Amino acid sequence: MESPSELHRPQFHFTAKENWINDPNGLVWQEGRWHLFFQRNPKSNVWGNMTWGHAVSDDLLHWEQLEDALHPDSLGTMFSGSAVIDRRNSTGLGDDTMLIFYTAAGEFVDPSVKHTQCLAYSSDGGNTLTKFEGNPVIPWMEGANRDPKVVWHPQSDSWIMALYLANDRYCLLRSPDAKNWERFQDITLPGVTECPDFFQLEDEEGDCYWIFWGADGKYLLGTFDGDYFDPITDAIVCEQGKNGYAAQTWSNAPDGRCIQISWMAGGKYPDMPFNQQLSIPVELELVGTGADARLIRRPIKELESLRGSKEKIDSIVVSRGKPCEMDLVGKCFDVSFELEAGDAKVVYLTVRGEWFKIDWESSELSAFSGSATKSSQPNNPTVLLPREQRISFRFIVDTCSIEVFVDGGVASASFCFLADGYEHPFVFNTYEGSQKIENIECYELLSSLAVDE
């Protein structure tokens, strides 16, 4: 639970016990445990000395931080990567061995050493990781090549790696044994850099499509046969808002689920022993069919287990001088509601002093606070809304973050903030015309932290 000395500790978003973290890495499920590796500086609460931290959970909410898993060596510091389970013993390292792929950032130990891609493995369920003695498995190719994301492609009986190269360029590589790799396709994701993800989902007709994802929340939808990824769309914006970055999906997830988590880059946590947080895990689905299919992101169902006291309002109308003021319990809550277009052009919400504006004419939601931005490719603090007459919203509010989900995840956005002064923690208002708000449901969200955190 939150202690008086940790005023800004998120209560259900992952943070390290201390020091800096950024990208989620090595996301994999095995034998009932969700593994979360992450970029960490074990020496300071600012970026540097990149090491892989490690945490595990049985429900994606209650995390136990373990000892750091990968430490810098002569090949470099430990940059981002991914993890898979080798069910077929393709590597010869043993059945169901956990394979870890990461970038060794050579320039941070020796300016003359380039970035290379390396392999580590675990035969004990991720408790201990051993670096492959033949590292690097992929030598430097160009630029700051980094962030390997590996998946198994059963149709071609091979491992496929998505790798960032430079500027907005990526490539795909294949290997039969996860050790020997060949580059077979280059991919451009306009305006996007770093942290690729590559995964498949079925559309509403059951047809399989592949998603090639980049760090700032844009993706390409296409088909993949093991030899060629063929995009059928231009780059599509998925995760919006100013703070969502470097999202990755878990491999080997049970029940066919596709679960994603992001770094909420750029948040401020004054005088805390930790720095930075990750998003809540979200479930991904494709809605629609073919080239018209789109990714949606919605909070994992497990989040509902943290719900406490509830307040419900069926319908209310707000107008100038007549706001709707919700006196919710605590600092953390889950609020959903529906709006229908009327004579109000703009609806304002304040969430623990943080202002949001829903503009019917421009079909945009914007956050007034714009000072915190991502480290690389900052998203716009404006979220594009569906051009519909009736829109549903869900706000997930933690100590220092707000995540917004529109129409069941058709649009979504991550925001970090520091609470300003406020009298009521959640307020609806409009200054011109009137706005009907329906089906307001507010839940207190309880902490997922251990008592001693």
- Indicate the number of domains in the chain: 2
Domain boundary among 302, 334, 356: 302
Q: What is the CATH number of the domain that holds 287?
A: 2.115.10.20
Residue ranges in the chain modelled with pLDDT below 70:
1-4, 369-381, 451-453
Q: Are residues 132 and 188 in the same domain?
A: yes
Q: Which residue has the tokens 């959640």?
A: 426
Give the C-alpha separation, 52 to 103, whole Å: 11
The model's pLDDT over 235-277, given as tens digits with 9 standing for 90+, comes to 999 998 889 999 999 999 999 999 999 999 999 999 999 999 9
Within a domain: 172: yes
Q: Are residues 109 and 186 in the same domain?
A: yes
Q: Are residues 56 and 199 in the same domain?
A: yes
Structural domain boundaries, residue 336: 305-445
Domain boundary among 302, 334, 369: 302
Q: Are residues 164 and 269 in the same domain?
A: yes
Q: Are residues 216 and 311 in the same domain?
A: no
Domain boundary among 278, 302, 326: 302
Q: Are residues 181 and 314 in the same domain?
A: no
Query: DSSP state, 441?
Result: E
Across the chain, what does the average pLDDT equal?
Answer: 93
Active site residues: 23
Q: Are residues 181 and 99 in the same domain?
A: yes
Q: Are residues 266 and 320 in the same domain?
A: no
Within a domain: 234: yes
Give the C-alpha separation, 61 to 448, whole Å: 6
Within a domain: 60: yes
Within a domain: 453: no
Q: What is the CATH number of the domain that holds 356?
A: 2.60.120.560
Within a domain: 10: no
Within a domain: 452: no
Within a domain: 7: no
> Any long-range contacts for 85-91 (C-beta under 8 Å, 24+ apart)?
85/28, 85/30, 85/251, 85/252, 86/178, 87/152, 90/159, 90/176, 90/177, 90/178, 91/121, 91/177, 91/178, 91/179
Q: Are residues 281 and 312 in the same domain?
A: no
Contact 300, 260 (CB under 8 A): no
Within a domain: 9: no
What local confidence, expressed as pLDDT, does residue 389 receive?
85
The model's pLDDT over 372-420, given as tens digits with 9 standing for 90+, comes to 333 344 455 678 888 888 999 999 999 999 999 999 999 999 999 999 8
Q: Are residues 162 and 119 in the same domain?
A: yes
Residue 124: phi and psi, rounded to 5, are -125, 40
Q: Are residues 204 and 349 in the same domain?
A: no
Give the C-alpha separation, 151 to 189, whole Å: 19
Q: Are residues 206 and 97 in the same domain?
A: yes
- What contacts 140, CB < 8 A, 6 or more positions away? 106, 114, 115, 116
Give the C-alpha separation, 395 to 338, whole Å: 12
SS3 content of the chain, % helix, strand, coil (to 5): 5, 50, 45
Contact 72, 101 (CB under 8 A): no
